[in-house]
Structure 1
Amino acid sequence: MKPVVPTLIIILCFAATRSFAQAKTADTTVKPPVQLKTVNIVRYNFFKDSAAFREEYSKEMTFRRPKWFEVYKITAVDINKLYRVTQFKKNKKKIAFKHMLLDKEQEMYVNSVYTPSLVNKVTRLDGDSLRLFMQYYRPEYSFIKNASDYDIYAEIKKYYGAFIKTRDSVPSQP
């Protein structure tokens, strides 16, 4: 009786694996390809983004600290304005935030003009060297605002000459 039990177990295991393998191969049917959604790429428009930025932060961008003479009316004192005038810390933070927003807007403008594709077109740099060049030789907002395309190209070429001379001494991280 003892030799029959191991033989039966082996036969049952073989039958189970065989039926499992047959069932597994029956499930492998060709599935239709997955259809991906269409992606529309929209060109970056600084002026549209700047208008949206100014609209979003309109209250902070137009902040002006009330003046002391505005507190007094002909016969009375405006308590609300007096309260706003005397909040020195809060007014200072609001003014600092306004300046930060203006700096961010200027940075966005420089980024919209001084692009990697423009620098690549003028200097033929790419990869890490392009990133380093753009990081270390970034023009100021006042220059970009008042410069023509030719002036920007000439400035990039001048910066590129300096970059080539000091390429080996420029560290990879600022």
Structure 2
Amino acid sequence: MQKRTAAFIFFIFIFIANLNAQSVSISGNVYDISGRRPIESVIVYSSANRAITDSLGHYQILVKAKDSLWFSLFGKHTQKYTIDTIEDLQHFNIMIHVTGYDLPEVRVRNSYYKLDSMQNRADYAKFFNYSAPGLKLSNNQNLLGPNGLTIGFDLDEIINMFRVKRNRNLQFLQNRLISQEQDKYINYRFTKRFVQKLTQLEGAELDKFMEYCRPDYAVLALLNDLELGLFIQKRFAIYKKGG
């Protein structure tokens, strides 16, 4: 009985050893073409397994010794890398060139948005540059008088402090212009073409998702094109689950 148990354990050990010998663990990081910015949510494939890079661009995947490895971002695949040609299995880092073809938003952009924004700022400079009146030094006052240092306050600013209705209207118009400018910026970057490319949604379903996913200006201003694409994909995953 003891011999049979020992033999069984021996064969189990050999079986596990063979499995380990047939599979290897590969890890590394995925960066953009500069080699400095890590890319999150890149899918790493082998013929029988897959992994996804984390926020630091890091991945780890178990593959067969005779297998190949490849990477995918926004449905675009890299070349396949044969495992036995990879020298350092624990530091297999790659760089992905994210082009305008991968991110259609880059292609549909044009210079007119920035020109329109600059022109709008120039046309309504009075409102964009408005600040609440207060005690300010006059630009026309000589600070050094015959008897030493003298201080002169701006008389117009003092008068404007008491023009409550005027100040309220100017503040309202400034807020409205800034809000319109921010909405145009969101529309300029968060386009149907871009979202449809990433989600494959169409028609009313696309409109519904765009309303659900539309980012705030404060969020969008912090995202580059790649990060915006990842933001949309994450929101789409939640959307499909009914979130």
Q: Is the TM value for this pair above 0.5?
A: yes
**Segments ≥4 residues shifted beyond 2 Å:** 42-45, 68-71, 73-83
**Structure 1 unpaired stretches of 5+:** 1-41, 168-174
User: How many residues align structurally?
Assistant: 125
Structure 2 partner of 1:26? none
Aligned-partner Cα distance in 2 for 1:85–1:44: 40
Counterpart pick for 1:68 among 132, 135, 143? 135
Aligned-partner Cα distance in 2 for 1:143–1:63: 25
Aligned-partner Cα distance in 1 for 2:170–2:113: 25
User: Residues 161 and 85 (structure 1 numbering): CA distance in 2 closer, same or farther, change over 3 Å?
Assistant: same
Structure 1 partner of 2:200? 124
Counterpart pick for 1:146 among 222, 225, 228? 222
* Matched-pair contact (CA < 8 Å) for 1:70–1:81: no
* Matched-pair contact (CA < 8 Å) for 2:113–2:188: yes
Aligned-partner Cα distance in 2 for 1:150–1:128: 26
Structure 1 partner of 2:177? 101
**DSSP-derived class of the 1:54 partner:** helix
Identity of counterpart residues, as a percentage? 25
**Structure 2 unpaired stretches of 5+:** 1-108, 142-149
The letter of the residue matching 1:105 is E
TM-score using structure 1 length: 0.62
Structure 1 partner of 2:190? 114
User: For residues 88-147 of structure 1, what are the alpha-carbon distances to aligned partners after superposition, in whole Å with 9 as ceiling and x for unaligned?
Assistant: 232122112212211211111111000000000100111111111111211122222221
Alignment RMSD: 2.6
TM-score using structure 2 length: 0.45
Larger Rg computed on CA atoms = 1
More helix, by proportion:
1
**DSSP-derived class of the 2:230 partner:** helix
* Matched-pair contact (CA < 8 Å) for 2:196–2:206: yes
Whose relative contact order is higher, 1 or 2, with alpha carbons under 8 Å and at least 6 apart? Answer: 1
**DSSP-derived class of the 1:166 partner:** coil
Q: Does 2:129 match 1:56?
A: no
User: For residues 4-37 of structure 1, what are the alpha-carbon distances to aligned partners after superposition, in whole Å with 9 as ceiling and x for unaligned?
Assistant: xxxxxxxxxxxxxxxxxxxxxxxxxxxxxxxxxx
